[in-house]
Structure 1
């Protein structure tokens, strides 16, 4: 009979003590392959414990692969495969994974390494581009979540339509009609945010070496995604009024572009919004040269100065525009719900791709969000965000005019969160400038993140999304001191 000392006063459960000691006996060779363990009844009597404790220990030993058991028979020690022991020193060299990844992944990895951010909790951080967590309507969303769980709990946990929760698609179609975009429910596909939407579109039509035109400086997270697909990025200069259309047309003629990507509202990183005339000319160019236009409306709702300008999609009579929207920049970045609005045939293709890769969308969050819409909470929240960020941007403008020297160029957005700075280089390096700012307790996004090639000036972006009015004033004052002392 096996003897095992048990400590009934220990915080370790009795069944776990039995498991640990039997494993130790097996590993030491005291119990060998084929040896029988005592019956659960006999062992429980010998150790003075409940029989269910022994049963639980035996079940766990079987699950761990230490024993074999047959119905009505004894548990016996089984032969186990060689135990793998991993040491930190050997772990990195166990397998050469670099030789098994795609060329596109290696390009992505190089780019992502360039975008790493250093954390400094004591600094004023102008890098974040997401709604302030203190402004998120968590309680209202929780109420909607509770109601959905009560009313639809058995439904929303099932696999759903790959195109997304139908009532939310309908709500988005109606919302887009407020922006004069004529889109039907079947022309809307729900995605896991705007980045997932871009990924789906690129999966649909990008082959290695295909050329896609994007503005420079441009959306930093777009560049590694395009590198993953091994696409050739054709940079188009961003001017004060948006994409340089003359430069773009030359590229259309010479480069055989697969698509053009644009952010007409509050372009990231510059914050520039394009005029109605510019949008019309851009659409006309794409139509004339038969080049699809990807319109990223990531902050469509965040205009709080001046008159609203309609999305390019609102003028799309030939179905050449694929519109991408998201709730991440105005509601919850962690919610991961976005959408694509495009011609029905495009949506059908994208839905097949989504089904192949994801099977179904997140029905639960999509249903909660739809109820949030239906109750009027979304419109209520947008108005609150406009009041809050209009005030923050006004404070920003005052601080910029007071502290930033005249030789520095910066944008003055009509909405959104970001402002772009251009500083004449004059021998300064971006890295040195970032270090000077960090030493003053200010973190900004380096301009190099938004280019594929080095710029002739020192550039950086600030975002006011997650900083309060006092931090904005103090942070810009510190930036101004660095610029004046350079």
Structure 2
């Protein structure tokens, strides 16, 4: 979707529709908007331009008459020509054909919209999975950055596996989770997503099967599918993955891998029990199924420490373990780590060098200094207390506004409350109605391709005042939707 950051001037004598025509023609003719690009809907353009919808229709009709845009069934209005090509009779290069032939597939439309709206001023973000700016440790980071500025000699490229200093630090740090691993078996990555990309590129063949929890964060990504992998769902209950479904969904060759977030699962917040973890390790070891354990939320426990990681009981090198600082400190730090067999780490580090020649040296130094100084552990204690206040306040807000229209469980860590609506309605329609009211939600159908009736509510990002206002408006939209019976709309 094209970004539009312009409004017609209502003080000019030029008709509003003509100003819109001139603006769109300029964006097309200058190459800012490419042939094949899709325009926002009439309704969205009306809101962006702050004009009546009839004004937008009049402008679009003129552009269609000039052969610049065209309405396509099931796609919307797209740019089909540019003014230069009309004058010279030269057929424009169709970049859209190149885009569509690319290996990496685009995000789901809803996720693309979420990524755009997250940066819109005034939007209350009820589903964002990162820490609020209010929780950013300004004083601690000032100390760390000042110390680094005095001690760091240069910021050149690091070793293929990442900074030895940081890998040694993480090796020591993981011991408190009963994970004993040498620095040579650790790869520093630019967040967990890059680790997953490296795994899909480096150790899986096209047609491999990835077993994912239902619902799962991974379902919102096209990462594995872009490389020709198949996602098979395994159900979860309040204890974690239903282990009998692992064997049922396993392929009979060496091309099956299990991806799991056993601790404060995204999006449900479920913590897999220790008994279930042991069962999974035993089954996967016997069936020779590698495991990717994503442990992004481990440090964010609020009531009691969760069971030890799967990796802590891995005797056969069966588990590849992902950790990150994105959830506990700042998403923009972009530092994570992958722990695995040394030959796998060697191979993936080579691929990473081909990809970006290394994670930011500055970010690696920051994380190493944070952990080495002991400030990170002190900060986590404060963060847990502040997140606990936010969680409890959000649960109280939900009780006020959602009692009778939804159910939920109390999470014991992480960022999320998995809200289940009591009556069926179109989540796509609710998503649209919400963002028109300045409320951004994460509908459950981006984590579960079935007819989910869930919403992922985050208590980590929006302020308590925003959570109160946003959830109140959302509850009113849901009640109105029930009343108007949009449950029968396929939308």
Task: Please tell me the TM-score bracket, short chain as reference.
Answer: 0.7 to 0.9
Map of 1:377-392 to 2, 5 A cutoff?
377-392=375-390
Alpha-carbon distance in structure 2 between the residues aligned to 1:187 and 1:222: 29
Tell me how far 1:355 sits from its aligned partner: 2.2
* Deviation digits for residues 433-457 of structure 1 (CA, Å, limit 9, x no counterpart): 2244445543210122112x331x4
Map of 1:329-408 to 2, 5 A cutoff?
329-406=327-404, 408=406
Is 1:263–1:297's contact at 8 Å kept on the other side of the alignment? yes
Pick one of 185, 192, 195 that aligns with 1:197: 195
Deviates more, 1:331-340 or 1:441-450: 441-450
Pick one of 458, 463, 466 that aligns with 1:468: 463
2:23: which partner in 1?
none
For the pair 1:445 / 2:442, whether they are aligned, the reply is yes
DSSP 3-state at the match of 1:361 = coil
Distance 1:124 1:113, change over 3 A: closer
1:76: which partner in 2?
none
Tell me how far 1:135 sits from its aligned partner: 1.8
TM-score by length of structure 1 reads: 0.75
Tell me how far 1:259 sits from its aligned partner: 0.6
1:26: which partner in 2?
none
2:315: which partner in 1?
317
* Structure 2: runs of 5+ lacking an equivalent: 1-80, 483-491
2:106: which partner in 1?
109
Pick one of 277, 282, 285 that aligns with 1:284: 282
Deviates more, 1:92-101 or 1:437-446: 92-101
Deviates more, 1:264-273 or 1:116-125: 116-125
Is 1:201–1:350's contact at 8 Å kept on the other side of the alignment? yes
2:33: which partner in 1?
none
For the pair 1:434 / 2:431, whether they are aligned, the reply is yes
Distance 1:254 1:392, change over 3 A: same
* Structure 1: runs of 5+ lacking an equivalent: 1-85
Alpha-carbon distance in structure 2 between the residues aligned to 1:105 and 1:353: 17
DSSP 3-state at the match of 1:349 = helix
Deviates more, 1:458-467 or 1:284-293: 458-467
Map of 1:210-229 to 2, 5 A cutoff?
210-220=208-218, 223-229=221-227
DSSP 3-state at the match of 2:323 = strand
Is 1:137–1:381's contact at 8 Å kept on the other side of the alignment? yes
1:294: which partner in 2?
292
Tell me how far 1:339 sits from its aligned partner: 0.3
Distance 1:370 1:257, change over 3 A: same
For the pair 1:260 / 2:255, whether they are aligned, the reply is no
Alpha-carbon distance in structure 2 between the residues aligned to 1:286 and 1:322: 13
Is 1:437–1:443's contact at 8 Å kept on the other side of the alignment? yes
2:145: which partner in 1?
145
Distance 1:440 1:100, change over 3 A: closer
Alpha-carbon distance in structure 1 between the residues aligned to 2:238 and 2:407: 11
* Deviation digits for residues 245-285 of structure 1 (CA, Å, limit 9, x no counterpart): 22222012568652110001111111111111111111111
Is 1:164–1:361's contact at 8 Å kept on the other side of the alignment? yes
Distance 1:403 1:425, change over 3 A: closer
Distance 1:96 1:476, change over 3 A: closer
For the pair 1:454 / 2:450, whether they are aligned, the reply is yes
Alpha-carbon distance in structure 2 between the residues aligned to 1:258 and 1:325: 22
Deviates more, 1:225-234 or 1:109-118: 109-118
Alpha-carbon distance in structure 2 between the residues aligned to 1:377 and 1:199: 31
Distance 1:190 1:221, change over 3 A: farther
Alpha-carbon distance in structure 1 between the residues aligned to 2:183 and 2:439: 45
For the pair 1:188 / 2:186, whether they are aligned, the reply is yes
Is 1:187–1:343's contact at 8 Å kept on the other side of the alignment? yes
DSSP 3-state at the match of 1:105 = coil
Tell me how far 1:387 sits from its aligned partner: 0.8
Deviates more, 1:274-283 or 1:353-362: 353-362
How many pairs are equivalent?
395
Is 1:104–1:228's contact at 8 Å kept on the other side of the alignment? no
Calculate the aligned-residue CA RMSD, in Å.
2.7
Is 1:217–1:269's contact at 8 Å kept on the other side of the alignment? yes
If you compute each CA radius of gyration, which structure gives the higher value, 1 or 2?
1
Tell me how far 1:306 sits from its aligned partner: 2.6
Tell me how far 1:471 sits from its aligned partner: 2.5
TM-score by length of structure 2 reads: 0.74
Alpha-carbon distance in structure 2 between the residues aligned to 1:423 and 1:207: 39
Is 1:418–1:463's contact at 8 Å kept on the other side of the alignment? yes
Is 1:162–1:361's contact at 8 Å kept on the other side of the alignment? no
Alpha-carbon distance in structure 2 between the residues aligned to 1:111 and 1:442: 19
Alpha-carbon distance in structure 2 between the residues aligned to 1:224 and 1:345: 27
Is 1:405–1:484's contact at 8 Å kept on the other side of the alignment? no
Is 2:167–2:186's contact at 8 Å kept on the other side of the alignment? yes
Distance 1:484 1:94, change over 3 A: closer
